[in-house]
Each structure stands twice: as structure tokens, then as C-alpha cells.
């Protein structure tokens, strides 16, 4: 056992690398430690293209060009969390796993390049999130890059999940012949340690959800733990989620990345962790969480059949991972309450846990999973929507299946009641049904198109189906478009009079209102943006004061029923014919019509 304790999860937050966009720092690290690998002395060049996602480390995409070649090669630069960096054995462990797996003919993973010292890593003092601990000694690795797209950005299908199951089964078969002393370590994300989750339950925001997680932990202790000695052991990948599965040409799995959570534990856990993530994939989130997990299990079981004892605990162990993600997510939020993303990202996980643990009958789910592991299993039989009645699965075997994707319901995600009223009116006579999900999405910063697109990404993750979001700006021409997307804050803090005063001293009081609507038909689908603008000028308030800056925006477009009136003075139906919002939504309507024809 290594000396790691559960509180290392706490230290991981302090010691998360904080290089971010500071590519100069990273360039120095690479030039000083990887000049041979990147053949810098013979004219090789490199460029950091961008930062990639990571939970506790920092990853960057590097493009390398050699003087003799016209093609470029991509690499991944991984800056490890300070906790892992303290332990050279862990880094060596991860490198050994990759080397081992790359020998398998049908498995590809990243591989480390050697530093100028001949080691598959280098160490540097670099900034970390906690100023008290910054800079800290961090380990940097230069890794080969697997060409393709993470599954998280693909439209996931049951067939893809089935092959992902087969792929992980191959990885696990290969890891049955692998051992390393550092694999014997404590890790809070290892579901064998579900009991250690108890200390984090207090960070969960509602008593109902605290009770939910406690009941999963209770079940784990009373049913799984007594069987521990009958569960096969092995080194696990431990984190087979859609960000770590790379999809290559023709939607084939091109490789697996990230062995940061790898431990020696119960073999079945590699499969149940991945099943939990399959539930949260783009297919799982569109009302097919159980089907998604069953497709994965089916694929895994064909190549690596589970034993009767392992089968018995599949449901509980899947829920242990969901509970772990949701609870440690709540803990992260408690450490960084300004980060609303953490809450939004955790929400689908909570909903899935509620569904699987509390709403679906345990015996029926067990028999569904048995079906997935039986010789009769096929993806058609398993691709069922999540149940709405408790005995769903019994009926299912004899009834025909129903598809959720036929419905054309689009959810408009906004926290603003007045916007919703207008949008419902504008979208009244369309084929799509607009429902509303009231949610205060974070007020993001940046260009209006970017803000709207990001809101849409958050909304689609929250809803798991077709969504619309919009962001509205009020742009003063004299101020080169400011306050723009920040109008909400200016209005809150300065009021209508303040907005007027901002233009005192300028001869130009003209402005334009802009709405950028973002539409996405579901997880994994592209986001479409529609930009509507209306010209006017800023005046002293006239008309009702019930919607934002309506009383101070005098419209200069349209006929006598709109030009020269403030939005607040106009009839609501007239506002929709000339407004920024009306124009943007009209474009969306035409788009939806062409899409459905
Ligand atoms: O949840 P979301 O959709 O983000 O709703 P929001 O009220 O936060 O809206 P925005 O982020 O788009 O911020 C726009 C600000 O402009 C106001 N606003 C939006 N549309 C308006 C309109 O048509 N007329 C007047 N004020 C408007 C709105 O009340 C906000 O203060
Ligand atoms: Mg907003």
C-alpha cells in the first residue's frame, strides 16, 4: 500500500497545475527537457495548439514539425497533479501499463517519449491552483497522441458502446498479465473503497441526496463487501469514460488514454465504472441510460465473461460509481462555490443515480443485465428507453419498443420569465413543441456568439435532448458595442438612469439590441447559432418597467407602430415583429422547417 489517504483528494485540488494559457512557460519546459525528442537542435519546431480537458492534471496538444518532413505530428503534453508528481513510482506505473498495452495487437494507447535525461518524464517547479503551495514540483510527460475524436464529441450509439465494452475487455485481459507494486494503492475513486465516501456525504447539497448516497454505501457494505474475497482481482484502467475513449475512422475505437486512476482492485469494477459512464454518454442521456449500460456490459461480457458473483453485484457497483462522481463533484463545488459548472455537470449524474437506484425495481434491472449477458442478447432487444413503469422490463420482452427520438420537443433553457413569454409567442405556430426548463445558466464572458454557444453546451448536458438557449446584448455604438453581453450587470448595478448617463458627453446615443439563439438537437450534435439585431437609441425610460432595458431602448425600425417607440411602449406582438429576439428566432424557425422537410 502506498501512503495515500482519502485526504489526497483534498490535496489534489490545491496541487492542480495552473499553467492554463501560459504557453511560454510550457515552451521553456519542453525546450529545456525534450530537445532531443523534438529534434530542436537539428531544426525541429513545435507549437502548443491548445489546452485539452482534464480533471486534476493539465493536458496540452502540441504540434511538431521536423525540418525534413512536410507533415506534422501531434503529441500530448501532460502536466501531472502535484500529488501524483510526489510519487515517482506512480508515474513509472502509468508508463509501464502503456508500454505493456501497446504490445497487444488490438490495443492502442499513448506512449511516453524520453526526456533529455533518458527518463520517460521530467520534473519542474510550476504554478498550481493554491497560491500557498505555488510553485510546486510537477511531473511533465510528452506522450504520443492518438489521432481521432474523444467519444464525448461523437453521437454515441448502442453499437459503439458494445464495441467499447469489447475493447475494455481486451484491455482487462491484457492487464491480467501485468503487475506493478504501485498498483496496490488507496484511491478514493476505487469503488472497493466506497465506504470512504461517507466523509464527503456532508458536502452534498440536499438531505434527500445525502440519504440517497448513504443508502448506496449501506447496500455496498451489507451486500458487496461480504463477497469481496470471491471477486476476481486485477489491474484496472478505472476511468473508461467517453473522454478517454478515442474514436478513429469509420467510428472504430482507435485507442484508450489516461491511466491516472489505475489501481489493482476488483476486476468487475472496470466494467461497472464504464457502465456508469455509458449511462452519461450522449446516447444514455437521451432517455436511454439503462440501455446504454446494457450495451456496454453485453460487449464486455462477450470477451470477458463475468462470474456469477460478479454478475450479482453489477447494479450496486454501477451505482457506487455514480454516487462517487456525484458526491466528489459536490465536494469540489464546496471548495469552489463560484464554479457553477460543477453543479451543472453533476446534475445528469444525480438524475441517473436517482433513476437507477430509487425508481427502477432492483430485480427487474438485474434481469435486464442478465439478458445483456445472455446468448440471446442483441442490441435491438437492449435498446429500450428508460422505464416509466416499474415492471417495464417484463413487459418489454414481449412488447414492441418505443422511440423517444420521434418527438420534436425542444427545451428552451432560460432563467428569464419575460424572455420565455416572448419566445413562446414567436414559436407558437411551429411543428416543434417548446417546453421550458428554468435554470440560471452562468453569466459567461466573451463574444455574444461564444457566450450563447457555451450556454447551449451546458444546457444540452443538463437536458440530454434538443435545447435552445439565447443570450441578449445591448450594444452602444459610441462605446464600440459595450456593455454588450454584460448589459445584465450594468442594468442591475446602474439602472435605467445609469445607462443613460454612460452616454452623456457622447453625441452618438445610438445602440443595437442583439440576440444570439443557439440550438442543438441533442448531445453530440452540432450547435447552430442565429443572430438577430435591431437598431435604436438610448433614451430616458418610457413605458412599463417590467422587462429589462425595454423602457430605455427606442426602436428606429419598422413602421409607425414601432419606430420612435421604446420596446416598453410597444404592443408585445409588435415588439416580436421588429425585435432582435424576433429576428433571431425567425431564422431558427426557417432552419427547423428545412431540417424537418
Ligand atoms: O437565463 P438567461 O436566458 O441567460 O436570462 P438572463 O435574464 O440572464 O438574460 P441574458 O443573460 O441574456 O442577459 C440579458 C439582460 O438583458 C435583459 N433583456 C434580455 N432581453 C431583453 C429584451 O428583449 N428587452 C429588455 N431587456 C432584455 C435581461 O433581463 C438581462 O438583464
Ligand atoms: Mg443570463
Strands 527-538 and 510-520: antiparallel
Question: What percent helix, strand, coil does the chain show, rounded to 5?
Answer: 45, 20, 35
Atom of ligand 1 nearest to the CA of 575: 23
For 279-317, the DSSP string reads HTSHHHHTT-HHHHHHHHHHHHHHHSPPPHHHHHTHHHH
Alpha-carbon distances, residue 371 vs 112, 297, 298, 361, 378 (angstroms)? 41, 10, 9, 15, 9
For residue 470, which atom of ligand 1 is closest to its CA?
A: 3
Note the pLDDT of residue 385.
Answer: 82
Residue 216 near residue 356, CB atoms below 8 Å: no
- Adjacent-strand bridge partners of 60: 51, 77
d(CA 597, CA 431): 11
Residue 416 annotated in ligand binding: yes
Q: Cα of 375 to ligand 1 centre, how many Å?
A: 55
pLDDT on residue 34: 98
* Residue among 539, 551, 538 at smallest CA distance from 477: 538
Each of the 597 residues of the chain gets a pLDDT tens digit; together they read 344 455 787 898 899 999 998 999 999 999 999 999 999 999 999 999 999 878 789 999 999 998 887 789 999 999 999 998 998 898 899 999 999 999 999 999 999 999 999 999 999 999 999 999 999 999 999 999 999 999 988 889 999 999 999 999 999 999 999 999 999 999 889 999 999 999 999 999 899 999 999 999 999 999 999 999 999 999 999 999 998 999 999 899 999 998 989 999 999 999 999 999 999 998 888 788 999 999 999 999 999 999 999 999 999 999 999 999 999 999 988 988 887 767 777 888 998 999 999 988 898 899 899 999 998 888 988 888 887 433 444 444 443 333 333 336 899 999 999 999 999 999 987 777 888 888 888 888 888 888 999 999 988 888 888 999 999 999 999 999 999 999 999 999 999 999 999 999 999 999 999 999 999 998 878 889 999 999 999 999 999 999 999 999 999 999 899 999 999 999 988 999 999 999 999 999 888 877 765
pLDDT of 597: 59
200 annotated to a ligand binding site: no
- State how far the Cα of 382 lies from the Cα of 396, in Å rounded to an integer: 10
Ligand 1 centre distance from Cα of residue 588 (Å):
19
Which residues make Cβ contacts (< 8 Å) with residue 367, sequence separation at least 6? 393, 394
Dihedral angle computed from the Cα positions of residues 313, 189, 204 and 83, in that order, rounded to the nearest 10 degrees: 170
The residues that bridge with 139 in the sheet, in sequence order, are: 123
CA angle, 484 then 490 then 554, to 5°: 65
Among candidate residues 187, 131, 77, 129, the one with its CA nearest the CA of residue 332: 129
Alpha-carbon span 579 to 391, nearest angstrom: 50
452 touches ligand 1 (CB under 6 Å): no
Task: Tell me where in the chain the CATH 3.30.200.20 domain(s) lie.
Answer: 8-145
What does the pLDDT read at residue 429? 78
CA distance 349 to 354: 9
Give CATH 3.90.950.10 domain extents, the chain. Answer: 409-596
Can you give the pLDDT at residue 464? Answer: 83
Q: Is the peptide bond before 249 cis (omega within 30 degrees of 0)?
A: no
Of ligand 1's listed atoms, the one at least distance from the Cα of 548 is 26
Give the number of whichever ligand sits closest to the CA of residue 489.
Answer: 1
User: Is 190 known as a binding-site position?
Assistant: no
- Closest CA to ligand 1's atom 21: 548
Q: Are strands 467-476 and 409-414 parallel, antiparallel or unpaired?
A: parallel
> Which of 103, 79, 84, 104 is closest to 94 using CA atoms?
84
How many Å apart are CA 166 and CA 298, to the nearest integer?
8
What is the 473 CA–ligand 1 centroid distance (Å)? Answer: 8
Q: How far apart are CA 95 and CA 34, in angstroms?
A: 17
Best CA proximity match to 83, nearest among 159, 7, 191: 7
For residues 469, 462, 260, 96, the Cα torsion angle rounded to the nearest 10 degrees is -80
C-beta of 581 in contact with ligand 1 (< 6 A): yes
Nearest CA to 157 out of 36, 278, 266 is that of 278
Q: How far is CA 543 from the centre of its chain?
A: 43
Which residues are CB-neighbours of 440 under 8 A, at least 6 positions away?
415
Residue 435: CB atoms within 10 A of its CB come to: 14
Q: What is the pLDDT of residue 403?
A: 32
548 assigned to a ligand binding site: yes
**Of 419, 437, 453, 498, which is best to mutate to test ligand 1, by the most ligand atoms within 8 angstroms of its C-beta?**
419
The CB of 441 under 6 Å from ligand 1? The reply is: yes
Ligand nearest to the CA of residue 470, numbered in listed order: 1
The C-alpha torsion from 248 through 454 and 349 to 280, rounded to 10°, is -20
528 is in an annotated binding site: no
Distance 351 CA to ligand 2 centre (A): 24
Q: Is the CB of 419 under 6 A from ligand 1?
A: yes
Architecture of domain 409-596: Alpha-Beta Complex (3.90)
User: With a 6 A CB cut-off, is 483 part of the ligand 1 pocket?
Assistant: no
The CATH code of the domain at 8-145 is 3.30.200.20
Query: Is the distance from the beta carbon of residue 567 to the nearest atom of ligand 1 less than 6 Å?
Result: yes
Ligand 2 midpoint to CA 492 (Å): 12
Are β-strands 433-438 and 409-414 bridged in parallel, bridged antiparallel, or unpaired?
parallel
DSSP state of 566: B
Ligand 2 centroid to residue 439 C-alpha, Å: 9
pLDDT for 402: 30
Instruction: Give residue 389's pLDDT.
Output: 36
Alpha carbon separation from 16 to 85, 190, 284 (Å, rounded): 11, 20, 30
Return the CATH number of the domain spanning residue range 156-177+188-399: 3.90.1200.10
CATH 3.90.1200.10 domain residues, the chain: 156-177+188-399
Amino acid at each position: 500500500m502506498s501512503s495515500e489517504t482519502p485526504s489526497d483528494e483534498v490535496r489534489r485540488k490545491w496541487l492542480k497545475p495552473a499553467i492554463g494559457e501560459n504557453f511560454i512557460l510550457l515552451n521553456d519546459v519542453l525546450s529545456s527537457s525534450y530537445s532531443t525528442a523534438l529534434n530542436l537542435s537539428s531544426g525541429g519546431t513545435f507549437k502548443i495548439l491548445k489546452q485539452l480537458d482534464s480533471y486534476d492534471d493539465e493536458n496540452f496538444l502540441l504540434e511538431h514539425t521536423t525540418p525534413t518532413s512536410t507533415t506534422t505530428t501531434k503529441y500530448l503534453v501532460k502536466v501531472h497533479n502535484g500529488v501524483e508528481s510526489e510519487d515517482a513510482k506512480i508515474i513509472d506505473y502509468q508508463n509501464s501499463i502503456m508500454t505493456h498495452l501497446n504490445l497487444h495487437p488490438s490495443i492502442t494507447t499513448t506512449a511516453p517519449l524520453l526526456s533529455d535525461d533518458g527518463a520517460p518524464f521530467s520534473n519542474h517547479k510550476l504554478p498550481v491552483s493554491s497560491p500557498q503551495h505555488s510553485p510546486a514540483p510537477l511531473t511533465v510527460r510528452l506522450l504520443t497522441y492518438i489521432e481521432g475524436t474523444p467519444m464525448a464529441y461523437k453521437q454515441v450509439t448502442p453499437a459503439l458502446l458494445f464495441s467499447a465494452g469489447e475493447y475494455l475487455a481486451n484491455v482487462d485481459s491484457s492487464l491480467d498479465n501485468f503487475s506493478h507494486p504501485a498498483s496496490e494503492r488507496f484511491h478514493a475513486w476505487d469503488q472497493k473503497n466506497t465506504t470512504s465516501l461517507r466523509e464527503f456525504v456532508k458536502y452534498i447539497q440536499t438531505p434527500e441526496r445525502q440519504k440517497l448516497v448513504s443508502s448506496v454505501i449501506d447496500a455496498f457494505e451489507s451486500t458487496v463487501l461480504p463477497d469481496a474475497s470471491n471477486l476476481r482481482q486485477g489491474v484496472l484502467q478505472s476511468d473508461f469514460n467517453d473522454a478517454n475513449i478515442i474514436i478513429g475512422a469509420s467510428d472504430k475505437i482507435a485507442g484508450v488514454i489516461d491511466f491516472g486512476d489505475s489501481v489493482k482492485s476488483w476486476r468487475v469494477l472496470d466494467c461497472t465504472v464504464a457502465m456508469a459512464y455509458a449511462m452519461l454518454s450522449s446516447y444514455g442521456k437521451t432517455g436511454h441510460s439503462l440501455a446504454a449500460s446494457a450495451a456496454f456490459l453485453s460487449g464486455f461480457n462477450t470477451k470477458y465473461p463475468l462470474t456469477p458473483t460478479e454478475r450479482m453485484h453489477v447494479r450496486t457497483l454501477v451505482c457506487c460509481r455514480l454516487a462517487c462522481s456525484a458526491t466528489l463533484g459536490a465536494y469540489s463545488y464546496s471548495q469552489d462555490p463560484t464554479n457553477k459548472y460543477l453543479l451543472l455537470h453533476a446534475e445528469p449524474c444525480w438524475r441517473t443515480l436517482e433513476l437507477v437506484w430509487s425508481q427502477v425495481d432492483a430485480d427487474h434491472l438485474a434481469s435486464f443485465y442478465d439478458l445483456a449477458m445472455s446468448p440471446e442478447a442483441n442490441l435491438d432487444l437492449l435498446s429500450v428507453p428508460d422505464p416509466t413503469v416499474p415492471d417495464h422490463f417484463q413487459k418489454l420482452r414481449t412488447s414492441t419498443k418505443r422511440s423517444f427520438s420521434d418527438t420534436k420537443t425542444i427545451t428552451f433553457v432560460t432563467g428569464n420569465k419575460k424572455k420565455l413569454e416572448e419566445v413562446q409567442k414567436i414559436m407558437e405556430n411551429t411543428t416543434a413543441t417548446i417546453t421550458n426548463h428554468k435554470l440560471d445558466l452562468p453569466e459567461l464572458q466573451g463574444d455574444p456568439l461564444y457566450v450563447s454557444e457555451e450556454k447551449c453546451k451546458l444546457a444540452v448536458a443538463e437536458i440530454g435532448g434538443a435545447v435552445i438557449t439565447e443570450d441578449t446584448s445591448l450594444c452602444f455604438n459610441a462605446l464600440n458595442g459595450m456593455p454588450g453581453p454584460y448589459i445584465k450587470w450594468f442594468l442591475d448595478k446602474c439602472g435605467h438612469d445609469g445607462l443613460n448617463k454612460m452616454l452623456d458627453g457622447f453625441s452618438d446615443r445610438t445602440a443595437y439590441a442583439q440576440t444570439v439563439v443557439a440550438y442543438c438537437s441533442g448531445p453530440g450534435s452540432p450547435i447552430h447559432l442565429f443572430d438577430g439585431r435591431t437598431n435604436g437609441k438610448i433614451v430616458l425610460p418610457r413605458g412599463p418597467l417590467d422587462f429589462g432595458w425595454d423602457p430605455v431602448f427606442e426602436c428606429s425600425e419598422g413602421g409607425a407602430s414601432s419606430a420612435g417607440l421604446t420596446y416598453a411602449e410597444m404592443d408585445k406582438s409588435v415588439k416580436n415583429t421588429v425585435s432582435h429576439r424576433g429576428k433571431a428566432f425567425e431564422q431558427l424557425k426557417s432552419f427547423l422547417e428545412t431540417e424537418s422537410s
